[in-house]
Amino acid sequence: MALKCLFFVSLLVVGLATPLAKAQLGGTLDVLIRIQDTLFCTINGNISVNGTATPVFPNAAVLLQCGSGNIVVASSITNSIGQFTILLDTSVFPVSSVLNNCRLLVNTTLATCNDSLGTGLLSSVLQYIGNTVQGTVTIANLRPLVFKLIT
């Protein structure tokens, strides 16, 4: 039994040390995808165009759905200032596939943040806005293009 435990711990240490060694030796990691934005409590989830104060949409479930079956592959909850972030590994989800086959769905009704907005949900396709490099990691930044009301 002790030998099995020692073997498992050894595998765990090797598994954790390999990525660290790769990073320290100057190896590059796969590109990550970051989907990030602020969700507002409006009929289209965007900031008001007329300059009036626009409340944010806190505690809203934001789902990333992909494919013809709208399979949820990732999710996030907006924070107290309406911001959400979803991170993906491009070795599993290539950027082009996410852009062409996925959408964001706000799975919390608008009535949650404002009763007068009704029970509809918001949905948006994604747009690429550029890359960011942080250390050895390149991040492909995506954001919702335009949220639309679905009922």
Q: Which H/E stretch holds residue 14?
A: helix 2-24
In a domain, 49, yes or no: yes
In a domain, 10, yes or no: no
Number of domains in the chain: 1
pLDDT for res 51? 63
In a domain, 94, yes or no: yes
The parent domain of residue 121 ranges over 31-150
The pTM (predicted TM-score) of the whole model is: 0.77
In a domain, 95, yes or no: yes
CA distances from 42 to 59, 116, 118 (A): 15, 10, 11
Tell me: the pLDDT tens digits for 72-92?
A: 999 999 999 999 999 999 999
Taking the C-alpha atoms of residue 42 and residue 60, their distance in angstroms, rounded to an integer, is: 13
Taking the C-alpha atoms of residue 101 and residue 26, their distance in angstroms, rounded to an integer, is: 33
In a domain, 125, yes or no: yes
Grade residue 12 by pLDDT with cuts at 50, 70 and 90: very low
